[in-house]
A and B are shown apart, each in its own frame.
Chain A
Amino acid sequence: MKLYEFEGHRIFSKVGIESPFFVVVSSVDDLDQARRKLKFPIVCKVQVLSGRRGRGGGVKVVTNEKQLKDFAVEFLGRDFGGEEVRFIVLSEKVDIRAENYISITYDTVLKSPFMLFSTKGGVDIEEVKKSDPESIVRYDFDVFDGPVSRELEKLGIPSDFALRLWDAFYKYDCRLIEVNPLALTGEGGWAAVDSKIILDDAGLLRHKDLNILPKGAVSAVPTERELLAHEIDAEDYRGTAGSKFIEFDGDIAILASGGGASLLVMDSLFATGGKPANYTEYSGNPPREKVEKLTKIALSRENLSGCFVAGAVANFTDIYETLSGFIEGLRQVKPKVGFPIVIRRGGPRQREAYEMLSKVAKKEGYDIHLFGPETPISVASKMMVELSDKYKLKSQRANLKSAN
């Protein structure tokens, strides 16, 4: 999970890393209160997860009340690079003598943590890699030992700051931690003027005390459906359902199964001209209630013209249980679902599941099309797109008729 800049600074404060004094503001009404704690000039920064705030005018030094208010009015609640700005940070302006860069993350080939440091901070590190690669030093170290002071010093990395940064990385299960710029201040100290932290989702359970705001998969502000989908796993540890839920502009609801197969399902649907309304997946043999909840959430979108329930041949996921959950969820969708449903699955108790589904479809009047492992996912997805197109055409005609 990617954090807001201010959430990162709060983590820094727990390990003794200094950041410029700041106040978080979420509405124009908060400005007066905040203003009392700060003196002009004030650095105003929009809080978004995409980075590159400077380029869109999202960072500005203001010197009077009017400029401050103008900044807040311009950005709060507005779209910035595709994200809604929920917060702005007002911070003191520090006397910066030099801007550096420092980060810690994992190398997936060496399978160990490493640190990057550069004296060319304040600009995108990707650009420094091109323009001045020699200014970047890399330090690989052992996860048990952590960085070693004298080795850091030999490389010209400020060791006290680096050790504290590792402390934060290690203690709070980070996947990435980056400070850019890391400022050498007029007083000769080091200050984290910015923060970028990505927490390891699997480690979040160990840090319930961190008080982190929920985030969306694509943007900082999760959609309502995304929030609901995330709650499913929070309540029950068995299997996963909905931990990733991304909304798209399309009209075919997706309930995919498995990390790998869900990618194949999405690729196939796009390749056959379908337009998914969402990406989500359940896997690891979740209980039927989880699939029921996820089904209700995915099918709560308006103007759907199809639902594609697809996955690979499961190893240990009980297909009867999970598809029973799907039916339970389907029954609760109001108004009753009339669009075509295509299911493609295999694995334990798949035949039993399909017998049950055919009966339910016939008895309760659902348009369900069943495909087993002998039908490739791409063929099922083509069928989904064709059926959904037919359904749309039929509804258009029906609408025209009623309009006449």
Chain B
Amino acid sequence: MSILVNSQTRILIQGITGKQGSQACREIISYGGGDVVGGVTPGKGGQEVEGLPVFDTVFEALKVLGQVDVSMIYAPPLLVCDAAFEAVEAKVPLVHIFAENVPVLDVCKILTLASEKGVRVLGPNSVGAISPGEGKIGSIGGPNPDAVFSRGPVGVISKSGGMCSELGNLITSGGFGQSTVVGVGGDLLIGTTFSDLLVDFEQDNQTKVVVAFGEVGGSSEIEAARLLKEGKFKKPFIVYLAGKFAESLPKDTALGHAGAIVGLEATMEQKIKVLRASGAIVAENFEDIPTLIKKSI
């Protein structure tokens, strides 16, 4: 078992003819898990990418291909809203948005429509998700996911794509594999949050422990802590929080991720306090994570 993606996941790629879209397509095919069935690029219907059909709209694509499990959006930031609306209207169960720099108003509209239609969104600015040995969506792990990811009992969550791989690398070298590794994206508003994933990981038999990479700004860690307190997540939860240095900067200072804003909603100290009180394990040092995994399972 795993969450979000497995070997049978049927995938559509919106923006499949672009540089990053076609590369993601090739990478998923070569990984051998996750089944890309076709793509969409407005105006390029009738073309092929890696032997797969390209359509002008999601509607046309699904008419020919049948329903898919995931649509991955690799469109330029200002076109993401329209692309996502198409996928949401077509009720594709999971819409993954890779693009960075999507305006927050557009994201708000996408998420509102998605929740009305019962569609789940991963991202924006999400690198994707991988269930090692089974399949992947997005660009996670790049051309060679096996270099850092391996199959096992650890669920991993991070806003940052780079840190997904870094955590995979650290945990694999520490002797543990991963059930599913998910990059949720670093934007102010995101479709799938830490706590949404904790609920999924709780249900997943393969997952014995979850590791999350938290950041300065936002409330995802506080929300996760609430879930633990309410008893909705009972497995060990290990969190590392990055960006302590930024606490000395003025409030509202924005860092690497659009959602990493100093003083937004909770300070680092508050996060650590609330997490500890909820029973989460807060890692002091990033490299301590494998040891903490060992202790907890």
Give the interface of A toward B (CB within 8 A). 2, 50, 82, 106, 108-109, 111-113, 142-144, 170, 173, 175, 198, 200-203, 205-206, 217-219, 237, 240, 244, 246, 256-264, 266-268, 270, 279, 281, 283-284, 311-317, 346-348, 373-374, 376-378
Contacts and interface: CB of A to CB of B under 8 A. Distances in A.
B49 interface: no
B169 to A, nearest CB: 5
Contacts of A346: 148, 165-166, 169
A175 B259 CA distance: 11
A261 B188 contact: no
B161 A258 contact: yes
B189 A259 contact: no
Contacts of A377: 166, 286
Contacts of A258: 160-163, 256
Interface in B149-163: 158-163
Given A109-B219, A217-B254, A263-B243, A313 B108 contact: no
Given A257-B162, A260-B163, A316 B23 contact: yes
Interface of B: 20, 23, 76-78, 100-105, 108-109, 111-113, 115, 127, 139-144, 147-148, 158-166, 168-170, 173, 186, 188-189, 213, 215-216, 218-219, 223, 242-246, 249-250, 252-260, 265, 285-287
A262 B255 contact: yes
Given A2-B252, A244-B256, A376-B170, 5 more contacts: A143-B108, A261-B160, A261-B162, A267-B244, A312-B163
B103 A315 contact: no
Nearest to A1: B254
B101 A314 contact: no
Contacts of B258: 201-202
Contacts of B147: 313
B242 A263 contact: yes
A255 B287 CA distance: 22
Contacts of B218: 108
A263 B104 CA distance: 22
Contact of A112 (B101, B102, B108, B265): B108
24 contacts: A2-B252, A106-B188, A108-B189, A108-B218, A111-B111, A142-B112, A143-B105, A198-B252, A218-B250, A240-B101, A258-B163, A259-B186, A260-B158, A260-B162, A260-B213, A260-B257, A263-B242, A263-B245, A263-B256, A267-B242, A311-B162, A346-B165, A346-B166, A373-B166
Nearest to A203: B103
A279 B20 CA distance: 28
A24 B285 CA distance: 50
A315 B253 contact: no
Contacts of B265: 108
B216 A314 contact: no
Contact of B256 (A142, A219, A267, A281): A281
Contacts of A348: 142-144
Nearest to B223: A109
From A206, A258, A348, name the one whose CB has the most chain B CB atoms within 10 angstroms.
A258
A198 B245 CA distance: 23
A218 B215 contact: no
Contacts of A143: 105, 108-109, 112
A374 B173 contact: yes
A187 to B, nearest CB: 34
Contacts of A256: 256
A201 B254 CA distance: 10
Contact of A267 (B143, B159, B245): B245
What 6 A-B pairs come out closest when comparing CB atoms?
A260-B160, A259-B256, A258-B162, A312-B166, A312-B162, A259-B257
A219 to B, nearest CB: 8
A2 B254 CA distance: 10
A246 B253 contact: yes
B80 to A, nearest CB: 10
B162 A283 contact: yes
Contacts of B127: 315-316
Contact of A315 (B100, B104, B161): B161
B286 A378 contact: yes
Contact of A144 (B23, B112, B165): B112
Given A143-B109, A143-B112, A377-B286, A259 B159 contact: yes
Contact of B109 (A144, A198, A219, A378): A144
A144 B143 CA distance: 40
A128 B111 CA distance: 32
A205 B219 CA distance: 28
A329 B162 CA distance: 24
A205 B77 CA distance: 10
A323 to B, nearest CB: 15
A202 B112 contact: no
Contacts of B105: 143, 170, 173, 200, 203
Given A200-B103, A202-B101, A315-B139, A218 B253 contact: yes
B23 to A, nearest CB: 7
Contact of A106 (B104, B169, B173, B223): B104
B162 A314 contact: yes
Contact of A202 (B77, B111, B166, B249): B77
A259 B243 CA distance: 10
B115 to A, nearest CB: 8
A143 B188 CA distance: 16
B286 A217 contact: no
Contacts of B160: 258-261, 312
A273 to B, nearest CB: 13
